[in-house]
Amino acid sequence: MSNEKCPVCGARDTAPFRQDMEMCRDCRLVWARKQYFGAPVYSEGREEAIYGGGKTALFRGCLKTLAKRFPGRGNLLDVGSAYGVFLGMAKTDGWNAEGIEVDPKTASSASAAGFKVHNRPIDELGLPAAYNVVTVFEVFCLMSEPLKAAVEMYRVLIPDGRIYIREFNGAFHMALEGRRIFKILGIRPSIVHNFNFTAESLRRMLARAGFKNIKIRNSRPTNGDPYGTGGRMGAALTGLAKNLYYYAAQLVYFASLGRLHVGSSFIIEAKK
C-alpha cells in the first residue's frame, strides 16, 4: 500500500502499478508519477485525420445528442478544441461555440478561423457561469489536475447545464499495453496517458465535482485508423476490427444491464 492519495476519488488505498505508475485500488484509476504535458507530435499527415476526419462521426453524434437536450441551442465551451473542427460543426448546428486550447499552434489556427479560443487551462480563466454545455474530447487524460478542471467545468455551466465527455477506457488500454503479439504484428492498439480512467473513476470524479445524473456508455470508435495504430493491417482492416470490438463491448454492456464497460472509450453525460 502507498501513502499517495488518489487524485480523483481521494482514497488512500493506492499501490505501485508497473514502472513509474500508481493505481487506486478503490476507483481503479492508474496515473503516471512523472507526467508529460508537451504538445503531441504526429507523423506528417496524421493531424488532419486525428483532429478532423477520424472524429467527424463522433462530433456529429455529440451534436445530435445535444440538440435533443437543447433544441434552442445556446453557449457551448469545447475544452481541448485543437484546430477548431468541432467548433465549426457546432457553429453550423446553431451553437454559440468557443474553445479552450493550451497548445499555441492549434489554438492560433482555430483563432485564425474566426473562433474565440482561450489559451490557458480552464481553472485559470475565471470564465462566467454562462454555458449550456461543456464538451471534452479525450482531454482529462492529459491534464495535470483533472478533478480541479471538472470542478471548474461544473461552475461555468448554467443550472441544468450539461457536460459531454469522450474519454479513453484506461482499463482496456492498460490491459493491452506491451503485449508481445502486438509488437510482432506491428500493431499498437493501446496508449498510456497521464491519467488512465475507468468508468468508476470518471463517475467518482464527476460526482465529487458536483455533477448528477451521470451516464456512461461505450463510445463508437474513430473512423478508420487516424493514429496509425494498425500497422500492417491498414486503415480498412483496423477500422473493421475496431467496429467489431465495439459491438462485442455493447453486447457485454447490455447483458450486464449497463454495469460493465469494456469498450476502448467512453461517452459520459452529466448534469449540473
Domain of 199: which CATH number? 3.40.50.150
Mean pLDDT of 142-160: 96
Q: Which of 112, 113, 118, 119 is nearest to 131 (CA)?
A: 118
Domain count, the chain: 1
111 within a domain of the structure (yes/no): yes
Assign 149 to helix, strand or coil: helix
Tell whether 104 is covered by a domain: yes
Q: Which range, of 136-150, 160-174, 230-244, averages the lowest pLDDT? A: 230-244
Check pLDDT > 50 for residue 42: no
Q: Across residues 101-125, what is the average pLDDT? A: 91
Mean pLDDT of 19-32: 92
Burial class (CB in 10 A: 0-12, 13-18, 19+), 66: buried
- CA–CA distance, 128 with 105 (Å, rounded to integer): 26
pLDDT confidence band for 38 (50 / 70 / 90):
low
Mean pLDDT taken over the chain: 87
Instruction: Tell me the mean pLDDT in the region 16-37.
Output: 88
pLDDT digits (tens, 9 = 90+) for 62-73: 999 999 999 999
Query: Is residue 235 predicted with pLDDT exceeding 80?
Result: no
47, with CB counted inside 10 A (0-12, 13-18, 19+), is middle
* Residue 225 pLDDT grade (very low, low, confident, very high; cuts 50, 70, 90): low
The stretch 117-142 carries a mean pLDDT of 96
Is residue 1 situated within a structural domain?
no
Q: How far apart are the first and last CA of the chain?
A: 35
Is 170:197 a contact under the CB 8 Å cutoff?
yes
Across the range 130-152, mean pLDDT stands at 96
The stretches of the chain forming alpha helices (DSSP H) are: 46-51, 56-69, 85-92, 104-112, 146-156, 170-176, 180-185, 199-209, 234-255
Domain that holds residue 172: 14-33+46-271
Which three cell numbers mark 109?
489556427
DSSP 8-class letter at 14: E
Kindly report, residue by residue over 237-265, the tens digit of the pLDDT. Answer: 667 888 898 999 999 999 999 999 999 99
Asked if the structure places residue 139 within a domain, the reply is yes
Please indicate, yes or no, if residue 3 is contained in any of the structural domains. no
Asked whether residue 2 is domain-assigned, the answer is: no
Residue 153 within any structural domain of the chain: yes
User: Would you state the cell numbers that stand for residue 263, as one nine-digit string?
Assistant: 469498450
Tell me the residue type at 107. A
* pLDDT, tens only, 84-110: 999 999 999 999 999 999 988 888 888
What per-residue confidence (pLDDT) applies to 33?
87
Q: What integer pLDDT is reported at residue 193 of this predicted model?
A: 86
Is 62 part of a structural domain of the chain? yes
* For residues 14-40, average pLDDT: 85
Position 55 confidence tier, pLDDT thresholds 50, 70, 90: confident
- What is the DSSP code (8-state) at residue 251? H
* DSSP 3-state percent helix, strand, coil across the chain (nearest 5): 40, 20, 40
Percentage of the chain with pLDDT > 70? 81
